[in-house]
Amino acid sequence: MIELKGKRVLVIGERDGVSGPAIEVCVRSAGAQVLYAETLCFV
C-alpha cells in the first residue's frame, strides 16, 4: 500500500478519463507534491 503523503508526483491525466487538474487536486489533498502535470488528448 503506497502512501501519497510526502511523494513527488508526475500527473498524467487524460481528457476523456481523469484530467490532469482533477488528479492534481486529489493528490495534493493527500499530502503529495506535484512535480509535473499534463492532460493527454489522444485525438
Partner 1 sequence: MSFPAITAVANVLAHAPGLVRYGSKPLRDIGQDPAVLEAITPRLRSYADAVAYAPNQVFIGNLDPEMLGAVPRPWFRALDGTASSTGAFGDLIGECELLGLLKLCDRARLVHLDAATLAEARAGLARRGIVTPDEMAALAAADAGAINAIGKSGEAIPLWLDGRVVGAMSRGHEQDEALTANVLLENLAAKATGVLAVRRLLRMVERRLGPGDIDFVLAGSEEAVGDRYQRGGGGLAKAIAESCGITAATGFDVKAFCASTLYAVVNAAALIQAGLFSRVVVVAGGSLAKLGMKYRAHVARQMPILEDMLAGIAILVERPGARGSDPSARGSDPSARGSDPSARGSDPVIRLDTLGLHTIATGSAQQAIVEALVITPLAKAGYRLRDVDRYATEMHNPEVTEPSGSGDVPRGNYRLIAALGALRGELPRDGIDAFIAAHGMPGYAPTQGHIASAVCYLAHALRAMRAGQIRRALFMAKGSLFLGRMTDASDGVSFILEI
Partner 2 sequence: MDLEGQGRIKQVIEQAGSADVIAVLGANSSAAVEMTALTLKSGDPSYAGPLAGIALGIPSYHVLEPEIADQFERALYERELALSALAMDVAEVVAPLKTIRDSAPV
Phi, psi for residue 25 in degrees, rounded to 5:
-65, -35
Pick from partner 1, partner 2, none: which does 28 bind, CB < 5 to 8 A by kind? none
Per CB under 8 A, which of residues 1..43 are in contact with partner 1? 15-22, 37-39, 41-43
6 binds partner 2, rule: CB under 8 A: yes
How far, in Å, CA of 39 to CA of 12, rounded? 6
43 binds partner 2, rule: CB under 8 A: no
Beta-carbon contacts of residue 20 (< 8 Å; ≥ 6 apart): 11, 12, 13, 37, 38, 39
**Of 2 and 30, which CB lies nearer to partner 1 in the complex structure?**
30
